[in-house]
Chains A and B, each alone.
Chain A
Amino acid sequence: MASGKAVIRARPWAVASFLLPALLLLGALVLYPIGYSVWRSFFDASGDDFVGLDNFAEIFANESTRTALRNNLIWIILAPTVATALGLIFAVLTERLRWATAFKLLVFMPMAVSMLASGIIFRLVYEQNPERGLANAVMTTVHDTFAGSSSWPDAEPRPGGSLSAQDDGSYLLDGTVSAGTPVLLPLVAVPQPELADAEPAATAASDPGQVTGTVWMDFTRGGGGTRDAIDADERALAGVTVQAVRDGDVVAEADTAADGTFTLPAEDADGAQLRLAASSFTPPYNGASWLGPELITPAIIGAYVWMWAGFAMVLIAAGLASVPRETLEAARVDGANEWQVFRRITVPLLAPILAVVTVTLMINVLKIFDLVYIIAPSSSQADANVLALQLYISSFGAEPDQGLGSAIAVLLLLLVVPVIIFNLRRLRRENQR
């Protein structure tokens, strides 16, 4: 220390000349842009007129920047905590693993992918269509394993026809039925390939001892068919459950045969209402709307965590290696179970490193841009908006206003400053120790 001070006193010019290149670079690349952004944020779009704090007022008055602020808040709370928590879990668990390095490599790998590339990957993962989007493919597979699928998911009654769709998804026929008069239950909108193997629809036999009828696709290929009548080329809908309902209770039910006909015993069904059970028409489960306005921000945070959990894990694992084994052993000897050891010994000992990881991620999350820009489709971009994206749109979008853009940049800087001060203090304390 002493010799260093001596050098400074003896040859200030030498010190200055060594510092000069770095100072120049810092000044040109960091200080000047910051100063200019602050200056620019007080001017309007053209840069000619001084507007005072109007740009800052605009940030809080504008709907889209307010959404961006709110989303940034969600981001800064959710993303670092989830990533750090996952990193901690991975780090602690892999400690015991035989293939720890291989596992860590795998979790860390997404860090090597650029934000742009992982944005594109997750854009595809979150696609609505289960045939294209992995997330929904998983969800529909799990769902269909338990729920099964229905026979004619697309079949619907014609609007304004004798059948009407109920809230529970079943189709109710107007009026009551009587034995001996065959009932017609026409449905439409079944896609042609689904009908490829269907038999032609048949008119049900008239039998005074039974309620009979036909469920069929009331549309002739090429048009020209008569509505609500079984035309020559029209196809039967087999396997539809027909229920006779009296005062809300199902009194009889039957499935339609290959030719679309069904029979119900007259003693139960005569004078009852007919209903086509919802189970025959349940639309296929399509998964969640990941890219829709409600889920878009959590979905993008998911992509971010996928990238950064590895980073947290590697830092925490390094911290874990320096935790004194004796302390852990002592606790175990004293009868603490593994959860208590983790909760009372490991986590407190890791607290400094956990704080560093969380704070680093917070700084990182505040300037999140690429993932949001790429993953959100344009219809939900407004709902996924974050400050950095709004900064880009305001400054370089269709109607550029670099005054407003600079104001957002200054706001971002102000938000990051407390976190940086926290980090610096912490560093200084560590050094003093």
Chain B
Amino acid sequence: MLTALTACGDDGDENRADREPTIELPDLSGQNLEVAAVWTGAERDNFLRVMDEFEARTGASVSYVPSGDNVSQFVGSKIEGGAPPDIVMVPQPGVLREFAQNGWIPPVGDLVQEQLDANYTPGWQAVGQHEGEQYGVYVKVANKSLVWYSSTAFDYAGVSAPADWDTFVDTAWTVWESGTTPVSVAGGDGWTLTDWFENIYLSQAGTEAYDQLIAHEIPWTDQTVTDALTTLGELFGHNQLLANGNGGSLQTDFPTSVTQTFINLEVPDAAMVFEADFVGSVITDSTDAVIGEDALVFPFPAVGAGDPPVVSAGDAAVAVAPNGEASEAQEAMLAFLASTDAAWIWAEGGGMVSPNRSLDLAAYPNDVQRGIADALISAGDDFRFDLSDQTPAAFGGTTGQGMWQGLQNFLRNPDDVQGAQEYLESQAVSAYGE
């Protein structure tokens, strides 16, 4: 028994040997915490390493429950059943606001706020707020402004990663000339098309217009939308630039768009595929490509005079307390998750990007992951959350209607910018209930 304990202590010391703890946690011996999140598999295992550290420091015991995709429904039914989880990771800003409105989650306490002020920019704090009160802590974010490319295809064409949109289009043409289809588009999944549009729009029209479009304060028939779609049309308007052409793209789902780019390392079917950092896990799971050698990544190019866009999504940790008061253990957990100590352990496991600006980039396990995190952190508060996630679900997240269908129509017929805009506007009007 004694040997076992000593061994454990040694392990912990080795882990933390080169880092001073940045947070003091209370003694929570004998307390139990239940944490719910959507993560499974490797993502969950990586998170559990963070929980182990929390257990070691406080003496509390933590259990993990997978919440399934519909977090809102999961928490709602658990509260009705009288046994809600203590901490929940909510994947959309809208869900956090809904929870706050229902009174399911209390505002965070001083201990958490202290960590937030130390480690989070005002922008990253704001996305966890509702009506000026801080309710959640963004712990794990996705950078949705990345273009992954096959090094074979780029070497063959003799091109390098482009920095702005015009160079990007030129690069695509050069790659096409070399005999490789330049871009793989997952048009079968409407959400990837919304991400294409959002990146261009954020960079070209700027953050202010982006926020107004979310609130539908400017219509989808606006000139800024025309410009963004016209820009997108420089790529989508040429059948030969898209893997399997426009029609084939519409039947390509997201995993296929990644595998067709990286499964054949000698003669790739496509040179580039755009999407978030989680493309990396598809590459690792379903192809033999090595990230950092065969599969490389560059930030989404800046459009026009704008800055390179940073569109993100992420999970916010919130404490569930329908009675309105968070326990000491819940507070401690949130504070720990907001601390650099937790971010470090989490980041070194790979597959995650932390919005914690105090985190040394050295924590990330490889250059690709470090580059993704760097792009996100150096964007400061100019990052924006996924636009479609913040619109009503009928507009931004439903198959066969709204933005998904509107952009699929555009991919099918890229010359008809006006038609696409009119469709989007009519869908927006009915979804926003105006």
C-alpha spacing A205/B58, complex, angstroms:
85
Q: Is the CB of A378 within 8 A of B393?
A: no
Interface 1/0s, chain A 184-227, versus B by CB < 8 A? 00001111111100000000000000000000011111111000
Asked if A64 is at the interface of the complex by the 8 Å CB criterion, the answer is yes
Q: Is the CB of B244 within 8 A of A129?
A: yes
Which residue of chain B has the shortest Cβ distance to A126 in the bound complex? B251
Tell me the minimal C-beta distance from A158 to chain B in angstroms.
Answer: 7
Q: Is the CB of B398 within 8 A of A398?
A: yes
Which A residues are in CB contact (< 8 Å) with B266?
Answer: 193
Tell me which of A242-250, A301-309, A379-387 binds B.
A379-387
Which B residues are in CB contact (< 8 Å) with A292?
Answer: 247, 250-251
Tell me which of B17-25, B135-143, B155-163, B291-299 binds A.
B155-163
Asked if B408 is at the interface of the complex by the 8 Å CB criterion, the answer is yes
Q: Is the CB of B240 within 8 A of A156?
A: yes
Tell me which of B183-191, B277-285, B304-312, B313-321 binds A.
B183-191
Asked if B253 is at the interface of the complex by the 8 Å CB criterion, the answer is yes
Q: Given A64-B401, A223-B158, do A191 and B267 touch, yes or no (CB 8 Å)? A: yes
Q: Given A222-B156, A398-B394, A399-B392, do A158 and B177 touch, yes or no (CB 8 Å)? A: yes
Which residue of chain A has the shortest Cβ distance to B260 in the bound complex? A129
Which B residues are in CB contact (< 8 Å) with A194?
Answer: 179
Q: Is the CB of A397 within 8 A of B398?
A: yes
Q: Is the CB of A219 within 8 A of B253?
A: no
Tell me the minimal C-beta distance from A176 to chain B in angstroms.
Answer: 27
C-alpha spacing A382/B408, complex, angstroms:
11
C-alpha spacing A217/B157, complex, angstroms:
13
Q: Is the CB of B158 within 8 A of A222?
A: yes
Tell me the minimal C-beta distance from A122 to chain B in angstroms.
Answer: 14
C-alpha spacing A127/B244, complex, angstroms:
12
Q: Is the CB of A219 within 8 A of B177?
A: yes
- A: number of interface residues (CB 8 Å): 39
Interface 1/0s, chain B 215-253, versus A by CB < 8 A? 000000000000000000000000010001001101101
Which B residues are in CB contact (< 8 Å) with A298?
Answer: none
Q: Is the CB of A189 within 8 A of B240?
A: yes
Asked if A154 is at the interface of the complex by the 8 Å CB criterion, the answer is yes
> In the complex, which of the residues B188, B267, B393, B408 contacts A399, with contact meaning CB atoms closer than 8 Å?
B393
Asked if A289 is at the interface of the complex by the 8 Å CB criterion, the answer is yes
A contact patch SS: loop
Which A residues are in CB contact (< 8 Å) with B189?
Answer: 378
Asked if A273 is at the interface of the complex by the 8 Å CB criterion, the answer is no
Among A195, A224, A381, chain B packs the most CB atoms within 10 A around the CB of A381
Which B residues are in CB contact (< 8 Å) with A129?
Answer: 244, 248
**Interface residues in A277-332 (C-beta closer than 8 Å to B):** 289, 291-293
C-alpha spacing A289/B250, complex, angstroms:
11
Asked if A271 is at the interface of the complex by the 8 Å CB criterion, the answer is no
Which residue of chain A has the shortest Cβ distance to B191 in the bound complex? A378
Tell me the minimal C-beta distance from A273 to chain B in angstroms.
Answer: 25
Q: Given A192-B179, A193-B267, do A382 and B405 touch, yes or no (CB 8 Å)? A: yes
Asked if A256 is at the interface of the complex by the 8 Å CB criterion, the answer is no
> In the complex, which of the residues B174, B393, B399, B401 contacts A223, with contact meaning CB atoms closer than 8 Å?
B174
> In the complex, which of the residues B173, B187, B244, B267 contacts A379, with contact meaning CB atoms closer than 8 Å?
B187
Q: Is the CB of B179 within 8 A of A385?
A: no
Which B residues are in CB contact (< 8 Å) with A399?
Answer: 392-394, 398, 431
Q: Given A128-B248, A399-B392, do A377 and B179 touch, yes or no (CB 8 Å)? A: no
Asked if A34 is at the interface of the complex by the 8 Å CB criterion, the answer is no
Q: Is the CB of A377 within 8 A of B174?
A: no
Which residue of chain B has the shortest Cβ distance to A225 in the bound complex? B158
Tell me the minimal C-beta distance from B282 to chain A in angstroms.
Answer: 18
**Interface residues in A374-433 (C-beta closer than 8 Å to B):** 377-382, 385, 393, 397-399
Interface 1/0s, chain B 375-407, versus A by CB < 8 A? 000000000000000001110011111001100
C-alpha spacing A221/B188, complex, angstroms:
33
C-alpha spacing A127/B158, complex, angstroms:
34
Which A residues are in CB contact (< 8 Å) with B267?
Answer: 191-193
Q: Is the CB of B251 within 8 A of A377?
A: yes
Asked if B176 is at the interface of the complex by the 8 Å CB criterion, the answer is yes
Asked if B178 is at the interface of the complex by the 8 Å CB criterion, the answer is yes
> In the complex, which of the residues B392, B400, B412 contacts A393, with contact meaning CB atoms closer than 8 Å?
B400
C-alpha spacing A154/B400, complex, angstroms:
34
Asked if B180 is at the interface of the complex by the 8 Å CB criterion, the answer is yes
Which A residues are in CB contact (< 8 Å) with B401?
Answer: 64, 382
Which residue of chain A has the shortest Cβ distance to B250 in the bound complex? A379
C-alpha spacing A189/B187, complex, angstroms:
23
C-alpha spacing A129/B158, complex, angstroms:
29
Q: Is the CB of B247 within 8 A of A128?
A: yes
Q: Is the CB of A223 within 8 A of B251?
A: no
Can you name 10 A-B pairs with beta carbons within 8 Å? Answer: A127-B251, A128-B247, A188-B179, A189-B179, A190-B179, A191-B179, A194-B179, A379-B412, A393-B399, A397-B398
Q: Shortest 3 CB-CB distances between A and B: which pairs?
A: A223-B158, A382-B400, A398-B393
Q: Which residues does B use to contact A, with CB under 8 Å?
A: 155-159, 173-174, 176-180, 187-190, 240, 244, 247-248, 250-251, 253, 266-267, 392-394, 397-401, 404-405, 408, 412, 431
Task: Given A222-B156, A224-B158, A379-B412, output 7 extra A-B contacts at Cβ < 8 Å.
Answer: A189-B178, A217-B179, A223-B178, A377-B188, A378-B400, A379-B408, A381-B399
